[in-house]
Amino acid sequence: MLQQIIDRRLSGKNKSVGNRERFLRRHKDQIREAVRRAVDGRGIRDMEKGEEVRIPKKDLSEPVFGHGEGGVREVVRPGNAEHLKGDRIAKPPGGGQGQGGSQASDSGEGEDDFVFHLSKEEFMQVFFDDLALPNMERTQLAETPEWKSHRAGFTNDGTPTNLHVVRSMRGALGRRIALAMGKRRDVIELEARLAELKALDPNDHEIQRLILETEAHIQLLRERIAGIPFLDPIDLRFRNRVRTPVPTSRAVMFCLMDVSGSMDESRKDLAKRFFILLYLFLTRHYEKIDVVFIRHHTQAQEVDEQNFFHATETGGTVVSSALVLMEEIIRERYSPSEWNIYGAQASDGDNWHHDSGRCREILSEQLLPLCRYFAYVQVAEAEQNLWEEYGKLSETSKHFAMRKAVEASEIYPVFRELFKKAGVPT
């Protein structure tokens, strides 16, 4: 008898994923805390990595009834080399430690925290949990509409694969009943007459003739009834599918960063951290989203991702140049009727003093009406005129938000605040 060996190697990997998820869910708070700390401590390049998470052992314990210290117990051990009955051995200080007995083996190691590795995906998941782009709306697209096919009742023609058998048969049944109705009634009447005729004198020729005639008539009607087709082409019903255009949401995010001379390395680092978070968040959560990087000193310039985060260049500061460029790009490429437009700006608040008022004007009059949301992060403590001007703006416009972040550890909370999903408590 040869027994079959089952090769399970290719099937059912990661059966414990569900259990792991539940474990992470349960310890969400500790994990969030770990993620927050990790983000603070990390360089820009390795923002996107997994993380070790520590959870105190006591938080993981599953209590059961067990014996505690004390009382009398007797333990049998192997390997006696020196003792005789009645020997007395001093107990080690600190209670009956070392007696272990039954419960010691199942926990593995005792004193340490429970440490485990959060994978990259899980890390990012926690990282951007509960965040979303605010005020996102679905806008109708003219050029490349998306179609969605869905069911819409039944039609009289279609391909055989779409044939709806039950509907068709129901129609056929109804048709057969309807067409045969009158004839059946006639048959019943004629049969009644036939019965009457047969009850009369059977030798009467006239009556004989009538009987034959009626019988022939009945026969004819029955044939007609039988002749009604069981299934007729007009009975057939097909499932109908129609295509409807679906409004899609497209979004563009403008990242505006100040790279002027007053932005020293640490401030630039703060700003970059903010944008890295934003960038990761956007690319993780939205498949179709355009990101436009603009950096400025006295002049603004659209750059690619690589240059935005890693190139170094300095000069004076004219913040409005970036806003103007953003407005131009919107006009050229991102029609507000088709795009959800977002803006995020980071600066140290230092600006050429005549420019700040202009920034406010451009924002309030040109950009904010086009944007769903505009966030400003200041990476320095000093409140200069830009902060004041923007402050006026934030009082009047709810699409505009501003925050300060002076240390790396503040970036993540500020980011979360700015992009908190509506309705989620902090």
Partner 1 sequence: MKPLKQRPAQPLPSPSDWTFELINEYHEVIRATAERYGLDTYPNQLEVITAEQMMDAYASVGMPVNYRHWSYGKEFIATERNYKRGQMGLAYEIVINSDPCIAYLMEENTLTMQALVIAHACYGHNSFFKGNYLFRMWTDASSIIDYLVYAKNYVAECEERHGVDEVEELLDSCHALMNHGVDRYRRPSKLSLAQEKAKLIDREEHAQRQINDLWRTLPRKAESDEDPDSAVRRFPEEPQENLLYFIEKNAPLLEPWQREIVRIVRKVAQYFYPQRQTQVMNEGWATFWHHRLLNTMYDDGYLADGMMIEWLKSHTNVVAQAPMQNLNPYALGFAMYTDIKRICEHPTEEDRRWFPALVDTDWEVTLDHAMRNFKDESFIGQYLSPKLMREFRLFSILDDADQSEYEISAIHDEAGYQHVRQALSKQYDLSTREPNIQVWNVNLRGDRSLTLRHTQHMSRPLHDSAEEVLKHVARLWGFDVQLESVNEQGEVTSRWNVLAPTR
Residue from 43, 46, 84, 160 binding partner 1 (CB under 8 A) = 84
Check residue 32 for interaction with partner 1 (CB under 8 A): no
Which residues, listed in sequence order, are joined to residue 289 by a DSSP beta bridge?
251
Check residue 13 for interaction with partner 1 (CB under 8 A): yes
Binding region for partner 1 (CB under 8 A) out of 3-11, 121-129, 289-297, 310-318: 3-11
Cα separation values, 308 from 296, 330, 359, Å: 10, 19, 22
Scan residues 99-118 and list those touching partner 1 (CB under 8 A): 99-102, 104-105, 108, 114-117
Q: Cα separation of 426 and 415, whole Å? A: 12
Structure tokens at 124: 């990012």
- Which CB, 58 or 288, lies closer to partner 1? 58
- Which CB, 14 or 159, lies closer to partner 1? 14
Instruction: Tell me, residue by residue from 46 to 65, as one string, x for binding to partner 1 by CB under 8 A and - for no binding.
Output: --------------xxxxxx
Structure tokens at 181: 């109705």
Half-sphere exposure of 293 (CA within 13 A, CB side): 16
Check residue 78 for interaction with partner 1 (CB under 8 A): yes
Check residue 205 for interaction with partner 1 (CB under 8 A): no
Structure tokens at 134: 């605010």
* 251 in Cβ contact with 340 (< 8 Å): yes
Q: How many CB atoms lie within 10 A of CB 81?
A: 4
Structure tokens at 326: 């953003």
Query: 291, 356, 370: which is closest to 327 by C-alpha?
Result: 370
Q: Cα separation of 240 and 246, whole Å? A: 18
- Which CB, 102 or 135, lies closer to partner 1? 102
Check residue 425 for interaction with partner 1 (CB under 8 A): no
Binding region for partner 1 (CB under 8 A) out of 73-81, 119-127, 207-215, 278-286: 73-81
Structure tokens at 196: 């009457």
* 302 in Cβ contact with 256 (< 8 Å): no
Check residue 337 for interaction with partner 1 (CB under 8 A): no
Closest separation in Å from C-beta 80 to partner 1: 4
Check residue 151 for interaction with partner 1 (CB under 8 A): no
Residue from 32, 44, 51, 67 binding partner 1 (CB under 8 A) = 67
Q: What are the φ and ψ backbone dihedral angles of 155, each rounded to 5 degrees?
A: -130, 170
Q: Cα separation of 313 and 260, whole Å? A: 8
Residue from 43, 46, 86, 422 binding partner 1 (CB under 8 A) = 86
Binding region for partner 1 (CB under 8 A) out of 17-25, 152-160, 278-286, 294-302: 17-25
Binding site for partner 1 (CB under 8 A): 1-3, 5-9, 12-16, 18-26, 60-81, 83-91, 96, 99-102, 104-105, 108, 114-117
